[in-house]
Chain A
Amino acid sequence: DTGVSQDPRHKITKRGQNVTFRCDPISEHNRLYWYRQTLGQGPEFLTYFQNEAQLEKSRLLSDRFSAERPKGSFSTLEIQRTEQGDSAMYLCASSAEGGYQETQYFGPGTRLLVL
């Protein structure tokens, strides 16, 4: 069990550029989650997948954000036309199927800085 991995760990970009992050969940987990954490706050839910189906999206996920999990394995989170307010830590988590009380295991996160 290698845990949840995320790539890149850090990303610096200029305002207006597009960025894409990748998350690889724990291999046998079919649920995958994206959260965002800003300074001084706890993680905030963005969206989650069961296999390849995106089941819930937060209103925080504006039209500039899109998440995919095409084959039910890894997932990508793309932010188009980045803004300075997008600067945050983007966290991915995964859990096994078994209901909402299955533990969510988090990856190390991708820290995004928009200049």
Chain B
Amino acid sequence: DQQVKQNSPSLSVQEGRISILNCDYTNSMFDYFLWYKKYPAEGPTFLISISSIKDKNEDGRFTVFLNKSAKHLSLHIVPSQPGDSAVYFCAASAGTDKLIFGTGTRLQVFP
């Protein structure tokens, strides 16, 4: 049973525009959420996180929004840059160190 779902396997965005990556979850016990970025042949790189007591967290070009009632979170990248092209994973935890990952969304930023 996939507790963290990323329903869009891929996304293509023009450079300078906003990229919006979505993630849905089913476990209401999740209280901490993270986004990781992964380039080919590398391990995942931490981007940004959010606790369930917040609904928004910003770090530079990256903003994560959390809608607990909808069990939905999203990552906004503004403005998108070609170097942002990678696979993005949403992850969640429920009070433990065990992270549950989604299946990833491949973002391509074109000129």
Which A residues contact B (CB, under 8 angstroms)? 4, 31, 33, 35, 40-45, 48, 55-56, 58, 91, 93, 95, 100-101, 103-109
Contact flag A100-B103 (CB < 8 Å), given A42-B89, A106-B44, A107-B43: no
List residues of B whose CB falls within 8 A of some A CB: 4, 32, 34, 36, 41-46, 49, 51, 89, 91, 93, 95-104
- Which of A4, A40, A42, A58 is most buried by chain B, counting CB atoms within 10 A of its CB? A42
How far, in angstroms, from A93 to B99 measured CA to CA in the complex?
11
Nearest 7 A/B pairs, CB to CB: A42-B101, A106-B43, A45-B98, A106-B44, A100-B97, A108-B43, A43-B101
Once bound together, how far apart are the Cα atoms of A108 and B101, in whole Å?
A: 17
- Chain B residues in 8 Å Cβ range of A58: 98
The reply to whether A42 and B91 contact each other, CB–CB distance below 8 Å, is yes
- For residue B43, which residues in chain A have a CB less than 8 angstroms away from its CB? 4, 91, 93, 106-109
Contact yes or no, A56 B32, CB < 8 A: no
Shortest Cβ distance from B45 into A: residue:
A106
* The residue from A33, A35, A43, A100 contacting B32, defined by CB atoms under 8 A apart: A100
Instruction: Verify A48–B103 contact, CB threshold 8 A.
Output: no
Q: Are B45 and A101 in contact (CB under 8 A)?
A: no
